[in-house]
Amino acid sequence: MSAGPSAPARRRPTAAMRGTETSLGLTRRARRMARELGEAFPEVWCELDFTNPLELSVATILSAQCTDARVNMVTPALFARYRTAADYAGADPEELEQLIHSTGFYRNKARSIQGLGAALVERFDGEVPRRMKDLISLPGFGRKTANVVLGNAFDTPGLTVDTHFQRLTRRWGWTEETDPVKIEHAVAELLPRKTWTDTSHRIIWFGRRVCHSRKPACGACFLARQCPSAGEAGSMDPVAAAKLVSGDSREHLLALAGLDADGAPLEADAAEADAAGGDIR
C-alpha cells in the first residue's frame, strides 16, 4: 500500500517567532530574505507597460484599485490618443473617462490625469520631474506612485509600498507599522538603498504568486523558515499549499521550497528530512 502525503515538516522556532529578535537580527534576517527573493526572481520589472515617464505616471494612477493586467489592456489606446502632458491637459473629460472606464473610479482618475497634465505643463515644461518633492506635489501622486516612477523611469532607488508590500512586511515581522509612509521608512532602514526598487518588485511578485492575502501558500514557501507568520497565516500542508502557488515560475518557486509540482518532497530534500527526523522547515 502506498504511503499518503507526508505531514508538514516542523519548523525550528526563530528569534522572531519567540519575540526576542534584536534590531541587528532583524536587519540580517530581512537581508537574507531579500537575497532569497532574488534567487526566486532574478529578473524583475514593473508589470505596468510604458515607454516613458509620462506613460508610467498615468499607468500608475490607473493602477489604483485595479490590476496591472487590466491597466495594460487600457493603456495602448490611451497612449496612442494622448502623447504629451498638454494632450492630457486639453483632453475632453468624457472621452478620457470612456477610455479608462474599465479601470474603475474612472471619474476621479480622469480628473487626476488631467490635473497631472496641466501641472506638468504649467510648472515643469511638460516633463515629469525627477525629484520626490516635486512628484508628490502633482495631482494623482503620493509617495507610492512617486517611488514607482523614480525607480522604474529614472533608476532612482525607491520602495513601492502597495498592498502586497504592506501585507508581507508585516507578516514577516519587518515592521509593525500600518501607515504606508512609516512602513517605507522602516523597511528602508533594513535594506541597502541600491536594492530598494528590485526588492519592491520581488516582494510584490511574491505576494501575487505565493503569499496571497487570504490563502498564503505557507506549506510550499521557501521563506517559511524565516517567517514568524508561517503556519498561522496559511496551512503548512505542502500538497494543499503547492496548489496555491501560481505564475510562470511556479515549478522554480516550489523547487526552492524543496517540493515538486504536486507538493511532494524532492528526493534530496526527502533524504534530508529523514536524516533530520523531519525537522527541516
Which cell numbers hold the place of 188? 528602508
* Active-site residue, 162 included: yes
pLDDT digits (tens, 9 = 90+) for 223-245: 999 999 999 989 999 999 999 99
What's the average model confidence in pLDDT over 199-222? 97
Residue 269 identity: D
Query: Is residue 203 over pLDDT 50?
Result: yes
Q: Where are the alpha helices (DSSP H) in the chain?
A: 15-18, 23-40, 53-62, 68-81, 85-89, 93-100, 106-124, 132-135, 143-153, 163-171, 180-188, 196-209, 238-242, 250-256, 267-275
* Burial of residue 59, with CB atoms counted within 10 A of its CB: 0-12 exposed, 13-18 middle, 19 or more buried: buried
With a cut of 70, say whether residue 215 has pLDDT above it: yes
Looking from the CA of 236 toward its CB, the CA atoms found within 13 Å total 17
Single out the catalytic residue among 162, 215, 243, 260. Answer: 162
**Inter-CA distances, 48 with 1, 110, 151, 197, Å:** 51, 18, 13, 14
pLDDT in tens, 258-271: 999 999 999 865 55
Contact between 15 and 226 (Cβ < 8 Å):
no
pLDDT attached to residue 32: 98
Q: Give tens-digit pLDDT for 157-166.
A: 999 999 999 9
Q: What is the mean pLDDT of residues 205-212?
A: 97
Euclidean distance between CA atoms 194 and 59, whole angstroms: 24
Pairwise CA distance, residues 212 & 206, whole Å = 8
Question: Cα(49)–Cα(31) distance, rounded to whole angstroms?
Answer: 29
DSSP letters along 125-148, please? TTS--SSHHHHTTSTT--HHHHHH
Is 70 exceeded by the pLDDT of residue 13? no
Give the rounded distance of the alpha carbon of 263 from its chain centre: 24
Angle between helices 196-209 and 23-40 (to 10 degrees): 70
Instruction: For the chain, give the mean pLDDT.
Output: 92
- For residues 159-180, give the mean pLDDT: 97
Catalytic residue among 144, 198, 237, 269: 144
Per-residue pLDDT at 177: 97
Q: How confident is the model at residue 12 (pLDDT cuts 50, 70, 90)?
A: low
- Which residues lie closer than 8 Å to 78 by C-beta, 6 or more apart? 58, 99, 100
CB 89 within 8 A of CB 117: yes
Q: Which residues contact 267 (CB under 8 A, 6 or more apart)?
A: none
Three-class DSSP category at 72: helix
pLDDT tens for 26-67 read 999 999 999 999 999 999 999 999 999 999 999 999 999 999
When pLDDT is averaged across residues 100-126 and rounded to a whole number, the result is 98
pLDDT on residue 233: 84
Grid coordinates given for 133: 518633492
Candidates 207, 208, 68; CA nearest to 148 is 68
Mean pLDDT, to the nearest integer, of 94-121? 98
pLDDT for 5 equals 43
Cα atoms found within 13 Å of the Cα of residue 264, Cβ hemisphere only = 5
* Res. 186: pLDDT tops 50: yes
